[in-house]
Amino acid sequence: MIELRSRPWVLLSSLVALVVFVAFLIFPLDHEHSPVEYALEQPHSYKAPRQNVWAELTESEAADVNAFILKEFAHLDLKKHPKSARDNFIYIVETLKPNKTDAVSYLYDDGPSPPERWAKAAIAQNLEDGPYIIYYMVGPLPISKDSMILPLEYTFNSGRNYVPNPIQDFAAIQDFASAMAENVSDITQELLGATANRADPNDPHGLLAFPRGSRIETGGFTLWMQFYRPGMGSGARTLLPQGIYAKVDATSSDINDWSVGQFYYNGVVYEDAEEFRAALDDPDFERTPANLDGPWTDTEDFESHPAGRELPPPVSVQPYGPRYKLDRKERYVSWFGFEFYITTAQATGVSLFDIRFKGERVMYELGLQEAMAHYAGDDPMQGGLEFLDTFFGMGKNAFELVPGYDCPAYADYLDSEWHQAYQTHHTPNSICIFEYTADYLLSRHTAQYSVTVSRNTFLTVRSVSTVGNYDYTIDYIFYMDGTLEVKVRASGFIFGAFYTANNTKSEDEYGHRIHDALSSSMHDHVINFKADLDVAGPTNDMVRMAIEPMTSTYEWDQPEQPKRNTMHLVEYQVTEETGIDWPKNSGEFYLVYSSDKKNAWGERKGYRITSGTGMGSTPHLTIFNSTTLGDSARWAEHDLWVLQQKDTEPRSADPLNYFAPHDPIIDFTKMADHESLEHGAPDTSYDGDLVIYFNVGAHHVPHSGDVPNTLMHTSASSVMFVPHNFNDRDASRESVQGVRLQLQGKKSGGFAGEEADPNDDLKTRMGRRSKTLDKTKAKYFGATYDKGIKLPLEALEPNMEGYVSKEHGVTDLSYNGSAAGVWHREEAFGG
């Protein structure tokens, strides 16, 4: 992990505060309460109103849970340091998030006690018919004589709390791949100029075989293995596919019964290695160039010096300290009307709970559910490639953020912990919180004699998850008017395809040629989030408010215009659980209304759900009935879904769906099963508490500009939740910073809030006004920067020389992200 000896950016806020404090002792502000005084009194004493009941287990809690399981499950002979695939061991322990129905009385009804705290455990357990991963619930916490271990079943709609683990022995698969590569080393040397190095699989001059597993509906397992070069510099393995593929029959549960069958090269299938070798001697055999590493995969250029690069770019600073309040212990944030709790999970990363605005409920929960990538292509790797990234861990792969780059240097940073195989893993500074002012205004208006402008300042909670070849930046953004935005940007190496020289290949059908022997590979990113909306309370309705054309007759229009073509609003109630796509021409508003709360004007309080900023509308999966995904990700088939809230349906997916795509432990189709969303009738138990699942992502067709890395501004997408009659007026007016310029002119008038004396006659008022006509006047709303200040260099460019670099445990997108790989890594790295 990246660590810091002195953590200069952690010291930065104190340094800046000291410099600013001294500066203002010399140059005091005229304000009654200076920004420096405000900043100095904020961060350290602030306390959350309630306990964070969703917080991840502490290290001591995790240790107690592990010890309790080892004692109570002594009959399983659970190993602390598993040494083989047949060992049973505790894979993960983490918080079992409380049921919403148990949390609401504590949160909203002033209940005296928080809900019981429980842990979730996944155990890698061998049964008679093979290895399984089995979920249990452990609690109540803290561990006591009343604590127990129960099968965790109620959160899964499959009727079971386990999945079979088809990857019984990750190390054995690696060995099998290496043996296969050695057996065809003459072929790889002839065609690729390299062979696999079994002693060092990551030899930059060697080859490795990367498996793509596929669960088939009839049962069993099929592997295609493609040769890759490991990548010498920036970890560019997925840019270095080679053109040889081997098919492995892995249908047997015993790896000793696996066999290598067909080979595929340059559009031709060979039944076995011998047929492949024989083809090499054919004078008409058509070869493809090897895909070689080189400077073209480097993610940076230290040599170029275009004009302007010798100067650093502008940066944002925060001279007076943060304006938000943060309770670090409870991970509670308050900022200009918004309040919320932060928590983490090793599969899904950062989630937010109990989001309120101006004291009113907006959302109970907002968080990632799954991140899916589905590829297409005409070779054995790309043709069936897909990833469900929570399997590898969006939370445990959220690495340390780089101050001044991932986040402004002045950001606040939070650490995270996760617990796997009896160890607590601590990731420093994996979450940042910061306020930022956009390069565009929140609002402005120019009148004849005045100009009013308002700065657009927002709050961001950010993390970056690096899952194999992609880095996902995930933002939760809060705006002063009550808008929330969930935004995802991606960067990193694409998963490229080998470019074949076979002239039967259909050019540009699946991507573009982007290097000597590399083609891009089209794929869909569909990233699923849950938004448990409680708009002004838990009882809500969803409507589609359509903007529709119409022809109408108006009495005032007669007789000149007998009929008028116009448009109007038509509201359609969403009466059952369903999936919805973004409308053509943005012709509908998707609104979640309070069923009983109205604003001052008698309108229902609501929030609008809309595709937000980024590269066009957010997408859903292009493929119908994916033969690869099966039923593991049906949430990807529409842009958003509306469902009943149920404690038994807390998530749309589970990481272990990756192991059983055709019989997933959570099947979303059983959740979105068209149950009624109508409430209030005597014959229904539904209380109006609904949940939205929505997707962000991209239809990614990589091109030459994606080499070496995809760029974040070209791969961004978001969904926004915008107040719709939720407030009586624009709520940002009381919080925003800006200025009104009153311009010169005989009829210019005064400023807002300045009332004329009713006793003045017209001549007196005009005389008073004429005294101000010789200059433009300015009046500020909110504080301003009134005096110059000095900032330390670290406020502009943090010193990176203080870092101590350690190896990241980034998954290679193989099976080492699973329980099957844990014991192998434990053994390899000495336990």
Give catalytic residues, as residue numbers.
389, 470
Asked if residues 389 and 499 have their Cβ atoms less than 8 Å apart, the reply is no
**For residue 714, what is the DSSP state?**
G
d(CA 242, CA 239): 10
Strand partners, 643: 691
Q: What are phi and psi of 473, to 5 degrees?
A: -90, 120
Strands in 220-331 per DSSP E = 221-228, 241-249, 259-265, 268-270, 325-327
Rounded CA separation 481/441 (Å): 13
β-strands 588-598, 578-580: how paired? unpaired
What are the distances in angstroms from CA 725 to CA 481, 511, 588? Answer: 11, 45, 17
Under 8 Å between Cβ of 524 and 374: yes
CA angle 830, 419, 802 (to 5 degrees): 75
Residue-by-residue DSSP string for 8-64: HHHHHHHHHHHHHHHHHHHS--SSSS-HHHHHHHSTTT---SS--TTPPPPHHHHHH
Residue 89 and residue 818 in contact, taking contact as beta carbons nearer than 8 Å: no
Q: Which run of H or of E encompasses 39?
A: helix 35-41
How many other β-carbons are positioned within 10 Å of the β-carbon of residue 208?
Answer: 26
Residue 123 CA, chain-centre distance (Å), reads 27
CA 85, CA 144: separation in Å to the nearest integer? Answer: 32
**CB contact at 8 A, 706 and 621:** no
Rounded Cα gap, residues 617 and 481, in angstroms: 23
Q: What distance lies between CA 329 and its chain's CA centroid?
A: 23
CB 387 within 8 A of CB 626: no
